[in-house]
Amino acid sequence: MAKMVTDVICPFCGTLCDDLEVSVSDDGTKILDVYNACAIGAEKFLHSQAKDRVTRPRMKQEDGSWKEVTYDEAIEYTAKMLADARKPLMYGWSSTNCEAQAVGTELGEMVGAVMDNTATVCHGSTLIAVQDVGVPSCTLGEILNRADRIVFWGCNPAHAHPRHMSRYSIFPRGFFTGKGAKGRKMVVVDPRVTDTAKTADIHMQVEQGRDFELLTALRVAFKGEWLPDFVGGIPKKTIYEVADVMKSGRFGIIFFGMGVTQSLSKNHNIDQAICVTRDLNEYTKFNIMPMRGHYNVTGSGEVWGWLHGFPYALDLSRGFARYNPGDTTSNDLLMRDEVDSVFVIGSDPGAHFPNSSVKKIWDLPCVCMDPHLTPTTAVCKLHVPVAFVGVETGGCAYRMDNVPIECRKVVDPPEGMPTDLEFLERVVARVKELKGA
């Protein structure tokens, strides 16, 4: 006999779909099938059942081999590494719940760490732009029910957020959007002909790195003023046409991704995209929203925002909070040899940082707390597997529109395996002992 767990939250991408159904064995130990999720979301649940899953901490030996250790030994190593460090880097935080992020921040305060999350290599520039010029935004529910003008700029939800278009932005019929996709106009701006671009009403195939110019040209076109024949490779006729499409809607949204945040001009692109949105509010209601990747990267920014006022690149090493992206960001610190140990929590810098930074991590004492085997677990000194948040334990996560959602536990973790919150709480207790606090 199987039982069905309903209203399950998918802990994979920032869409945080909340309508999954998971079939579980009667004794509550095995996931049998996952319904309603996209392929990558379903895989996250099924992967927790993998036969080759690592279920005990492993310490790297001198000869490069791995030796299994107990969780008590792992707590001791992690606590000593952090307590002895002059300036540890505590990086990641995007694939865990807000409760663990809060306890981790307490730990960071105690050991004078620099806390950074994965925004440092994705939407950090967005956060800087929001601090510069503010952000007119809304919720995904409002988009489902109201939006008739949708712009995807430098993002490809068909692959990166596979249910975004079917649940919220393009296909569903909402309260004021009863015709579904037929009542919405979709514009995609991307140098590549992506699967998202193929479904658009208008695809502006901007030249690589020319987003800032095109955004500026749109602001000119809103006013009907003069434009050169081409901007960023786009004919002026198309720019005027897109400007008219945006102005003529009742409710619009610009979703943007790393194609704009990490291309030339970085946060200035987002400054300009927010100004485009602000200009459009002279004519209609328009909003802008980043397509956040990890399911709780938004939450880590929120938690640090409440606690210290800054959403990433949070330097606690002087006993008070400092924030200076480009200086207190992970890659800059690693390249300047400014940190002397690394604690990675629920993320994978081994896969996403430049090779030169990964080499620095390899040379330093490094603990990686992650349920998966990743490139980072290969370069760390101690790998601590923990329960999957959203599968084997619950907790709060923030969707890409800053809406907090309570994840559900579906099955028990392997016997004896702590959650990341439990592991962090025990490290905090041990650091307190070591520091005589």
User: Can you tell me the distance from the alpha carbon of 302 to that of 311, in angstroms, rounded to the nearest whole number?
Assistant: 6
Starting at the edge strand found earlier in the chain, the sheet holding 202-204 runs: 202-204, 185-189, 149-153, 251-256, 285-290
Does the protein bind ligand SF4 through residue 325 (CB under 6 A)?
no
Stretch of 15-23, 49-57, 101-109, 119-127 lying at the interface with ligand SF4 (CB under 6 A): 15-23
Q: Of these, 8, 22, 31, 37, which contacts ligand SF4 (CB under 6 A)?
A: 37
In the numeric block, the tokens 């990675």 are attached to: 344
User: Can you tell me the distance from the alpha carbon of 86 to that of 90, in angstroms, rounded to the nearest whole number?
Assistant: 13
User: Can you tell me the distance from the alpha carbon of 111 to that of 105, in angstroms, rounded to the nearest whole number?
Assistant: 10
Look at residue 400 and give its three-state secondary structure: coil
Q: Phi/psi class of residue 93: alpha, beta or left (left: φ > 0; alpha: ψ in -120 to 50)?
A: left
Q: Of these, 8, 10, 54, 387, which contacts ligand SF4 (CB under 6 A)?
A: 10
Partner residues linked to 389 by β-bridges: 393
Least spacing, CB of residue 409 vs ligand SF4, in Å: 17
User: Can you tell me the distance from the alpha carbon of 242 to that of 377, in angstroms, rounded to the nearest whole number?
Assistant: 46
Stretch of 35-43, 102-110, 358-366, 385-393 lying at the interface with ligand SF4 (CB under 6 A): 35-43
Does the protein bind ligand SF4 through residue 297 (CB under 6 A)?
no
CA atoms 202, 207, 208, 211: torsion sign: negative
Q: Of these, 16, 119, 260, 273, which contacts ligand SF4 (CB under 6 A)?
A: 16
Binding-site residue total for ligand SF4 (CB under 6 A)? 14
CB closest to ligand SF4, residue no? 41
Q: Which is nearer to ligand SF4, 1 or 39 (CB)?
A: 39
Site string for ligand SF4, 154-173 (x = CB under 6 A): -------xxxx---------
Q: Of these, 38, 165, 214, 280, which contacts ligand SF4 (CB under 6 A)?
A: 38
Residue partners of 363: CB distance under 8 A and separation at least 6: none
Least spacing, CB of residue 157 vs ligand SF4, in Å: 8
Residues 119 and 331 sit within 8 Å (Cβ to Cβ): no
CB contact burial 47-78 (16+ within 10 A = b; e otherwise):
ebeeeeebeebbbbeeeeeeeebebeebbbbb
Look at residue 340 and give its three-state secondary structure: coil
Q: Of these, 8, 15, 128, 423, which contacts ligand SF4 (CB under 6 A)?
A: 15
Q: Of these, 5, 24, 40, 321, which contacts ligand SF4 (CB under 6 A)?
A: 40
Q: Which is nearer to ligand SF4, 41 or 301 (CB)?
A: 41
Stretch of 7-15, 213-221, 297-305, 359-367 lying at the interface with ligand SF4 (CB under 6 A): 7-15
Q: Of these, 12, 71, 222, 312, which contacts ligand SF4 (CB under 6 A)?
A: 12
**Which one, of 80, 134, 83, lies nearest residue 271 by Cα?**
134
Applying CB under 6 A, which residues contact ligand SF4? Answer: 10, 12-13, 15-17, 37-38, 40-41, 161-164
